[in-house]
Amino acid sequence: MKYNYLIVGAGLYGAAFAQQAREAGKSVLVIDKRPQIAGNVYTRDVEGIHVHQYGAHIFHTNNKEVWDYVNRFATFNRFTNSPVANYHGELFSLPFNMYTFNKMWGAVTPEEAAAKIEEQKRQAGITNPRNLEEQAISLVGTDIYEKLIKGYTEKQWGRPCTELPAFIIKRLPVRLTFDNNYFNALYQGIPVGGYTRLVANMLEGIEVRLSCNYLEDRPYWDSLADRILFTGCIDAFFDYRYGHLEYRSLRFESALLEIPDFQGNAVVNYTERDIPFTRIIEHKHFEFGQQPCTVITHEYPEAFQPGKEPYYPVNDAKNTRLFQSYQQLAAAHPQVLFGGRLAQYTYADMDDTMAAALQLWKKEYQRILEH
């Protein structure tokens, strides 16, 4: 059988495009090199707890079209992301708000907090930030930078903040209110039953083949469909002709604990440099679990090497130029569509990923109508 579309990758992007194509009456085959669907939002069940296998994922959006779309396939709970920062045993609220400033300086009113931040910014005297450290201090002052930003960021990127470009922190949300919601989003939550169920519902009625590596047998897979959507790494698609795009990777270490609660919150960031992990995730709190046990995950940033999972693109000038070269190669393959965070070499929130997939299908459907 020849399919209208071969979708390479069963993550959110591939699943959304596949669902839309099937809904329009097209024949679709989805393949993924992993033994499971859902890409990096994959959740697995451990003692009734939905464990976020590849790190914490909280769905949040201001896009009503996207929110209405995902709610077709899952019911979302009321989870609100309110992470906590642990610095040498002191706990601070994230994002930076009045709870943070009260703990940091004893500030009680917004006026007091604003005055303290302005005082520290003025003392630093930075007018033209040359790197991430200077950019952060110019935005929030030295105390918050030293305790809550510096160590965490250096672990995340594997480089001193003085060597990181200022644009990584274009802005830091500072709230002079007691609002602990990390996101400024109209809609937010976790799909009840986990993300794997959400993606499975999106792929209902669509043929899916797992543990299939497109790049290892490209002529065979190409022969199965008229058009291809590729959601993998764009440099891998072109056999690294111009070299490897750089990423940061992550390593996760999970443990099942025979206690009902470990840290009382879904996400706690560890912001001091000497602790090798960046955060601990306690998965049951994403769905207000009442299980007698709990699952925690330590998240360790790592340098990316072939064979490791690519997570965060290193969007510096060198890699941006390299990606643009691959984009030019992609333009010479009109039968192949490139989409998703890896094919677009971007860091994308889930709602942006979904919106981009829905937009690509609209464009594709318009092409079909015109032909």
Catalytic residue of the set 175, 195, 247, 345 = 175
Give me the DSSP letters along 307-342.
TSPP-EE--SHHHHHHHHHHHHHHTT-TTEEE-STT
- Does the annotation mark 299 as catalytic? yes
Of 317, 312, 288, the C-alpha closest to 299 is 312
Catalytic residue of the set 134, 246, 299, 351 = 299
Percent of the chain as helix, strand, coil, to the nearest 5: 35, 20, 40
Of 130, 94, 57, 93, the C-alpha closest to 341 is 57
Backbone angles phi, psi at 84, to 5 degrees: -120, 145
b/e for 36-51, b at 16 or more Cβ within 10 A?
A: bbbbbbbbbebeebbb
- Does the annotation mark 130 as catalytic? no
- Does the annotation mark 347 as catalytic? yes
**What is the distance between the alpha carbons of residues 338 and 8, in angstroms, rounded to a whole number?**
10
Catalytic residue of the set 171, 216, 258, 274 = 171
Query: What does the block give as tokens for 358?
Result: 């829905």
User: 353 and 340 in contact (C-beta within 8 Å)?
Assistant: yes
Q: How far apart are the first and last CA of the chain?
A: 22
- Does the annotation mark 175 as catalytic? yes
- Does the annotation mark 159 as catalytic? no
Strands 294-303 and 279-282: antiparallel
User: 248 and 312 in contact (C-beta within 8 Å)?
Assistant: yes
**What is the distance between the alpha carbons of residues 9 and 211, in angstroms, rounded to a whole number?**
11
Catalytic residue of the set 22, 227, 279, 341 = 279
**What is the distance between the alpha carbons of residues 51 and 43, in angstroms, rounded to a whole number?**
5
Greatest CA separation for the chain:
70
User: 322 and 316 in contact (C-beta within 8 Å)?
Assistant: no
- The dihedral region occupied by 30, where left means phi > 0, alpha psi between -120 and 50, and beta the remainder, is beta
User: 350 and 69 in contact (C-beta within 8 Å)?
Assistant: no
Q: Which residues are catalytic?
A: 171, 175, 248, 279, 299, 347, 349
